[in-house]
């Protein structure tokens, strides 16, 4: 499933992952694994760019999860802070291989 976020960027979702464009050059993808996320919101609090907010609806695991708002700069701070390894950043060309 694909939809546009409030920055008119394409967000691609399936039953497990939400994939957002990340960084100024749009050469990175920011991926949220909803199956791993436990809804602690640590990622939201550590992001220096206020790029994340928590969902209103729950994942199939019963937890709220982060949504990226288009401001992600791919700094990776939230990746290192997430206790459940639910966040990752990938180069676009790696994902498209």
Instruction: Name the site residues for ligand SF4 (rule: CB under 6 A).
Output: 22, 30, 37-43, 47, 49, 51-52, 65-66, 68, 72-78, 82, 84, 86-87
Q: Considering beta carbons, is residue 11 or 52 the nearer one to ligand SF4?
A: 52
CA atoms within 13 A on the CB side of 37: 28
Closest separation in Å from C-beta 59 to ligand SF4: 9
Contact predicate 33/44, CB 8 Å: no
50 in helix, strand or coil? coil
Indicate the residue among 4 and 61 with the shorter CB distance to ligand SF4: 61
Token pair for residue 91? 């180069």
Q: Taking the CB of residue 30, how many other CB atoms lie within 10 A of it?
A: 25
The nearest distance, CB 14 to ligand SF4, in angstroms, is: 17
Tell the smallest beta-carbon distance from residue 45 to ligand SF4 (Å): 9
């Amino acid at each position: 499933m694909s939809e546009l976020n409030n920055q008119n960027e394409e967000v691609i979702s399936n039953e497990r992952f939400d994939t957002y464009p990340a960084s100024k050059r749009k050469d990175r993808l920011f991926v949220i694994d909803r199956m791993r996320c436990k809804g602690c919101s640590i990622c939201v609090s550590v992001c220096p760019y206020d790029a994340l907010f928590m969902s209103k609806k729950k994942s199939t695991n019963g937890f709220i999860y982060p949504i990226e708002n288009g401001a992600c700069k791919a700094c990776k701070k939230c990746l290192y802070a997430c206790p459940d390894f639910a966040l990752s950043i990938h180069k676009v060309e790696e994902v498209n291989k």
